[in-house]
Amino acid sequence: MANVFPAPVLGLPEADIPLPGLKARLSQGSDHQILFMEFTQDAEIPSHSHAAMWTIVLEGQSDMVIDGVPRVTRKGDRIFIPAGVSHSARIHAGYADITFFDQKDRYQPK
């Protein structure tokens, strides 16, 4: 998969997320995080919840279940998941997104 993100984003620290085929770059704010993610393999994300998140899908597709409701996401979709709402996903290879977490310590840099 060709890089979706430009050099300044690729220069950000990698996020420590142990999923095969995931490259995630971390932009750290004082009270939030932004992840720039690319998947080269399919990935299963089990049901979980956390602080609010907002995602913009740049490429590919994911099959999500948000608060028990199935949803297919594709390029151009925006997804907001409020704090504490349970969600899971099957992310297909070739997927890329930008995700804002309303949480300063969701992930750590590698």
Q: What domains can you pick out in the chain, each with its CATH number?
A: 26-101 (2.60.120.10)
Q: Do residues 12 and 36 touch, judged by C-beta distance below 8 A?
A: yes
Name every residue whose Cβ is closer than 8 Å to that of residue 62 and which is 6 or more positions away in sequence.
72, 73, 89, 90, 91, 92, 95
Query: What phi and psi, each to the nearest 5 degrees, are found at residue 27?
Result: -105, 115
C-alpha 33/C-alpha 48 separation (Å) is: 18
Nearest to 97 by CA among 43, 45, 24, 46: 24
Q: Whole-model pTM? A: 0.94
Kindly report, residue by residue over 7-65, the tens digit of the pLDDT. Answer: 999 999 999 999 999 999 999 999 999 999 999 999 999 999 999 999 999 999 999 99
pLDDT of residue 2: 60
